[in-house]
Amino acid sequence: MIKGIKGVKDILPEETPRWRLIEETARQWAVRYGFQEIRVPIFEVTTLFARSIGASTDIVEKEMYTFQDRDGTSLTLRPEGTAGTVRAFIEHNRNADPLPQKYFYMGPMFRHERPQAGRLRQFHQFGVESLGTSDPRADVEVIALLWRVLMDLKLPALTLEINNLGYTADREVYRPVLVAYLTQHVEALCGNCRRRVETNPLRVLDCKVPECRAATEAAPRLADSLSEQARSYFAGVVAGLDSIGIPYRLNHRLVRGLDYYCLTTFEVTSTSLGAQNAVGAGGRYDALVETLGGPSTPAVGFALGLERMAMMLSETAPVASPGSTTVYIAGFGSLGSATGLSALEELRLAGIRAVSDFRSGTLKSHLRQADRLGSRFTLIIGDDEATKGTAILRDMNTKAQQDVSLTSLSRDISPLFRAP
RNA sequence: GUGGGUGUAGCUCAGUUGGUUAGAGCGCCGGAUUGUGGAUCCGGAGGUCGCGGGUUCGAAACCCGUCAUCCACCCCA
């Protein structure tokens, strides 16, 4: 038997209603906030991701699905959505259009990781990018959108945390200060963090190991090394969130895993998720457009993990059965089944959801099918009815039956499905 | 990449200290008199016990390997 790939899942019909709810909610809020949908390719040249995400990040170093095209160029299945969106923005000269350009996207992403709860190799994200505004209110707008989507879906136990990463120059001031402190306390750090002191000291602050957390409790804070400009920008974000009532927590340890972030970063986690507890996260990335060869353009964005949202939603699954709007056609006997087929088509053309089971040859088995499918009505057409040019319409709840004429079928049945 | 748990019917799982035709519930198909569903009763289909070796008179069970899957580390949405 040919099986699916490790970490790549089928979303079966029982789950798709939940997915549609998530997607439609996200789309609706994005549009309300003035974002437009963009659809970018699922694969790009490898250098795009290496340059944007950061060559020394885990994603680029060991998680990308990279392969050679027939002409030898290196291509990669997108591990996230920002790079492609920014590439499209540059390539199509969208900065020549009225700014800001605000996009949202939805679709599969690919990362070669070891699968676990809430982590797959093909997973799905909804994301937004707001390009061209360097006002704190743009950050607030994006965070608000993120929060509203999650609130609308009533996802449980959420916390929004934000932090100020400052400008690149600020971090360069802070880095040696932090490294000096960490070197004094190396013995207290976990093995991983000892290595990180060299490679990526900021991430030590984000370590979950209790010893590391204790050791860095008294560490000098990035906030104290920030320029006046960075501070006042962040103050604007915080004030904006306050004024529109978005609840957040400051977390000076919050460090994102992608290199392109600066200033505002944020993350929403849920305690109902397991180890992979981040539902959505994002931040500002003012330098990225230029890094990728475009005009200097400030930007903010976020991404939401759709699988993780679906996991949380399943606890309060609001799946409605479609049966309440269905007519089941029970056509049996040689003439009856032929007539049933045309009745099916007629109702469908009239906009009514009509189904039948072509394996059923007896009225009894038809009714069992109709019941199992949860159909609201069954239209019975045996040979007798077919010769008379009529059918019996049975209400499956009340068992009331009435004759209907086959010549006026859709006209007679349509009113039954009007909203009361 | 590292660690731990689990692999028996479509699904959820039993299966005694190794013992002969491997079970249940749900689901599926059919029947309970001729054209009327759900309940009940009856019957039926469906399993290389993940795979490959080994121990043994005998393995679903014990041992080794392997694969898959789940969870965790790591990392991230």
CATH of A16-167+227-316, one of 1.10.3660.10, 3.30.70.260, 3.30.1310.10, 3.30.930.10: 3.30.930.10
**Structural domain A322-417, CATH architecture:** 3-Layer(aba) Sandwich (3.40)
Domain ranges, ordered by start, for chain A: 16-167+227-316, 322-417
Nearest CA to A285 out of A94, A77, A139, A97 is that of A139
Measured CA to CA, the distance from residue A101 to residue A133 in angstroms comes to: 9
Give, in degrees to the nearest 5, the angle at Cα A269 between A236 and A288: 55
Measured CA to CA, the distance from residue A276 to residue A268 in angstroms comes to: 12
Chain B nucleotides reached by a protein CB under 7 Å:
1-3, 28, 30-31, 35-38, 68-77
Residue at the smallest CA–C1' distance to nucleotide B30 = A365
Query: Measured in angstroms, what separates residue A363's CA from nucleotide B75's C1'?
Result: 58
Residues 370-409 of A with CB under 7 A from strand B: 370-372, 380, 382-385, 392, 394, 396-397, 399, 401
Q: Is A276 within 8 Å of A147 (Cβ atoms)?
A: no
A333: nt with nearest C1' to CA: B35
Query: What local confidence, expressed as pLDDT, does residue A359 receive?
Result: 86
Query: What local confidence, expressed as pLDDT, does residue A250 receive?
Result: 94
Residue A248, Ramachandran bin (φ over 0: left; ψ between -120 and 50: alpha; else beta) = beta
Residue A170, CB, strand B, below 7 Å: no
C-alpha dihedral (A216, A217, A222, A223), degrees to nearest 10:
180
Residue at the smallest CA–C1' distance to nucleotide B69 = A6
ipTM: 0.86
Residue A185, CB, strand B, below 7 Å: no
Intrachain domains A16-167+227-316 and A322-417 with the same fold: no
> What are the mean pLDDT values of chain A's consecutive 10-residue runs (420 residues total)?
86 87 97 98 96 86 92 96 97 95 97 92 97 96 98 92 91 87 82 76 79 81 90 96 96 79 93 88 95 96 96 67 80 92 94 90 90 91 94 93 92 77
Query: What local confidence, expressed as pLDDT, does residue A420 receive?
Result: 46
Query: Measured in angstroms, what separates residue A12's CA from nucleotide B23's C1'?
Result: 30
Residues 122-161 of A with CB under 7 A from strand B: 123, 125
Query: What local confidence, expressed as pLDDT, does residue A259 receive?
Result: 74
